Amino acid sequence: MVKNNYWFHCGCCGSLFRARSLATEVRVCTSCGRSPFIGNGAATPEVQGQFVASEAQVRHDSRNSRRKRKMLPVMAKVLLGCLAFAAVIVVGSQFLVGNGFKTKKPASAAVSKVTISEVDAALIDKAMPLLQKTIGRFVDARTPEEWSQFILAPIAAAGRIDRYYSFNPRVNVVTEKLDLTHYGIVNLPAGKAVECYWTADGGEVLDTVFIEENGEWLLDWNHYVRYSDYPWASFLSGGGDDVGEFRLLARERLADERKNKDTISIALYAPRFGFPDKLGIESPEFLIEQSSKNGRLLDAAFKLNQSGKYAFDSKLPNIDPEGLVRVRVKVRRIKGVDQNTFEIDEVIACHWFSTDAPGVEIPEDAPAK
């Protein structure tokens, strides 16, 4: 122990400190800077300045501490908000196309597990992100070269694309506002395909079919645009070649009145792209022998439609006008002196898919002629 230095107890902060025994006038606590005697807050000018600065620092630190405590809940809320937003993005990405348009799972019996097997449901789940990407990029494309990347059999369709769009305007669709409303499986001869209905921002209904090829789900473009060699109304008025292939809607005329006749009377209508409930002008009457192949195919198509079933086990709701069936036909125009007449050369199929399979069955016990 240093001579004349002793231990003292501070009555202000309770600390022990060492000081000279006789230096009462300068004796201060080395911890708090105050006089060690209770009730005496005096200190030397130097020590008092240090003590005041210390108190100011304590108050500053206290305010910072309170500010930090107040900020913690805010930061926690921001962090939780960011995590929730990230979760929404991850979950929502399962329903977004690469081009950014949104889709919504439809509440339709056509897509319920009651009507779709587990195998078909698994196929749809696997195909959906890919076909959404296809339709998004297709509607965004602006040239035939771009379109051909996303459609079935592009080389065979190249000439048809140029021909079709030389007569028909292309409907512009806002990709971000394209919504999926229905989807299902259709059993085509080449295998299973996925069919979908979409609604566009202009109210259009896009009826699409996607077929897998080399790991990609490509759009059946012929079905999508309801391809015909020439606009039906123009063909009826004398335009284009005298023979053409058309995707049309057929209606049986006077079915009850003519049920005992040898011929079927039908009228044909061109569908309007995007608006399946709207039809163009009615064609002249076509009389077809019931016993012919054309007649039997049409009769089978009308009966299938009346039963509530559709070609290749399609399960989507019917969006065509009631009583009309889809047909792909080859029609001939015969020039007359006063007016033209028309004949159906061939009923190629009773659907609009890109396959020549008829889509209906003719009973074996009455073979077609």
* 157-202 per-position pLDDT tens digit: 888 988 898 998 888 888 888 999 999 999 999 999 999 999 998 8
Residue pair 212/283 in contact by the 8 Å Cβ criterion: no
Q: What is the pTM of this model?
A: 0.69
Residue 62 parent element (H or E): helix 45-92
Backbone angles phi, psi at 311, to 5 degrees: -55, 140
pLDDT digit string, tens, across residues 80-129: 555 554 443 433 433 333 334 444 444 343 444 336 788 999 999 999 99
Residue 135: name the closest of 35, 220, 24, 252 by CA: 220
Structure-token match 């240090």, residue found: 50
Residues 217, 220: Cα–Cα separation, whole Å: 10
Q: Which of 158-172, 185-199, 211-225, 254-268 has the lowest mean pLDDT?
A: 254-268
Q: In the chain, what are the domain boundaries?
A: 109-225, 232-349
Residue 254 — very low, low, confident or very high, per pLDDT cuts 50/70/90?
A: confident
Does 109-225 carry CATH code 3.40.50? no
Residue 319 — very low, low, confident or very high, per pLDDT cuts 50/70/90?
A: very high
Residue pair 149/139 in contact by the 8 Å Cβ criterion: no
Length of the chain: 369
